[in-house]
């Protein structure tokens, strides 16, 4: 059996400052390779904390986090950041684009620290932009794009390194609902073995965080958080 893409067991997260807050409590979650999962819940439920822990941006107070079978608690910060840059891609509510750079260069920066030569970086960036439907905007500056287009560029930057897992925290939060629906459909389509990726070897897993249940409905599996606990999980369809 191949390892799950992501596996949390008994995860607790307590923030100590300025006052103790238990953000996650007893979270067990297994996400299989190629799944498309939405994590929902009200503001403050612990969604962003969960995404940070799944993405190894933060360590849990207790419990274990496995990424592609590797127990991350044993890893040094340097090894952890290698796992992160090799296996994980991130998309946020804000796009974090470099406004004065071209769309192509914004995406190519996603490969800067992977030792990919410049010509290959641009080739792969063009391929990622094709996957998000932005071939026609390659030469634009990021600052010239609409909100939905900017988020597509951010998604292309996140997938250009062909991560096993794509993590998105409220990716539609800055967009109107019709534009947001297009972004979520794109994220759902990127998941799984049939996503048309250049390298079909390993399926892409997508975990999307949203407070909006309409947005969540586009993903095949929904997990609901309340007060730091998973209170509902539609499970992985087999």
Binding region for ligand ADP (CB under 6 A): 15, 21, 23, 41, 43-49
Out of ligand ADP, Mg ion, none, what residue 76 binds, judged by CB under 5 to 8 A for its kind, is: none
Q: Are residues 219 and 212 in contact, defined by beta-carbon separation less than 8 angstroms?
A: no
Give the residue with the Cβ less far from ligand ADP, 21 or 181: 21
63 binds, among ligand ADP, Mg ion, none (CB under 5 to 8 A by kind): none
In the complex, the smallest distance separating the C-beta of residue 187 from Mg ion, rounded to whole angstroms, is: 17
Least distance to ligand ADP from the beta carbon of 110, Å? 24
Least separation in angstroms between residue 47's CB and Mg ion is 5
Task: Point out which span in 12-20, 40-48, 108-116, 218-226 binds Mg ion (CB under 5 A).
Answer: 40-48
From the CB of 212, what's the least distance to Mg ion, in Å?
Answer: 12
Name the DSSP class of 2: P
Residue of minimal Cβ distance to Mg ion: 48
Nearer to Mg ion (CB atom), residue 47 or residue 152? 47
- Give the list of residues 6+ apart from residue 109 with CB closer than 8 angstroms, or none: 98, 101, 157
C-alpha distances (whole Å) from 21 to each of 13, 59, 161, 209 are 8, 15, 35, 20
Residue with tokens 């684009």, as numbered in its chain: 97
Please tell me the distance from the alpha carbon of residue 134 to that of residue 186, in angstroms, as a whole number: 12
Could you tell me how many helices (H) and strands (E) the chain has, helices first? 7, 10
> Encoding tokens for residue 21?
């807050």
Residue 48 found at the interface with Mg ion (CB under 5 A):
yes
**Residue list 144-163, contact with Mg ion (CB under 5 A):** none
Per the listing, tokens 């191949």 go with 2
Q: Which two tokens stand for residue 76?
A: 């040094």
Considering the complex, what minimum distance in angstroms separates the CB of residue 87 from Mg ion?
A: 22
Binding site for Mg ion (CB under 5 A): 47-48
């Amino acid at each position: 059996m191949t390892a799950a893409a992501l596996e949390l067991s008994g995860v607790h997260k307590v923030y100590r400052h300025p006052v103790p807050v238990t953000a996650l409590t007893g979270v067990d979650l297994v996400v299989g390779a190629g799944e498309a999962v939405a994590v929902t819940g009200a503001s403050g439920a612990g969604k962003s904390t969960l995404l940070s822990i799944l993405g190894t941006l933060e360590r849990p107070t207790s419990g274990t986090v496995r990424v592609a079978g590797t127990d991350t608690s044993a890893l040094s910060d340097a090894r952890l950041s290698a796992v992160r840059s090799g296996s994980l891609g991130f998309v946020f509510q804000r796009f974090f684009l470099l406004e004065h750079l071209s769309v192509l260069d914004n995406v190519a920066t996603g490969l800067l620290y992977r030792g990919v030569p410049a010509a290959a970086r641009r080739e792969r960036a063009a391929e990622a932009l094709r996957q998000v439907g932005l071939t026609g905007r390659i030469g634009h500056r990021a600052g010239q794009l609409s909100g939905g287009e900017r988020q597509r560029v951010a998604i292309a930057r996140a997938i250009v390194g062909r991560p096993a897992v794509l993590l998105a925290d409220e990716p539609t939060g800055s967009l109107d609902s019709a534009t947001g629906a297009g972004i979520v459909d794109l994220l759902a389509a990127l998941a799984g073995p049939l996503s048309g990726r250049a390298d079909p070897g390993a399926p892409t897993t997508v975990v999307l965080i949203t407070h909006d249940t309409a947005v969540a409905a586009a993903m095949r599996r929904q997990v609901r958080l309340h007060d730091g606990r998973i209170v509902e999980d539609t499970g992985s369809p087999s």
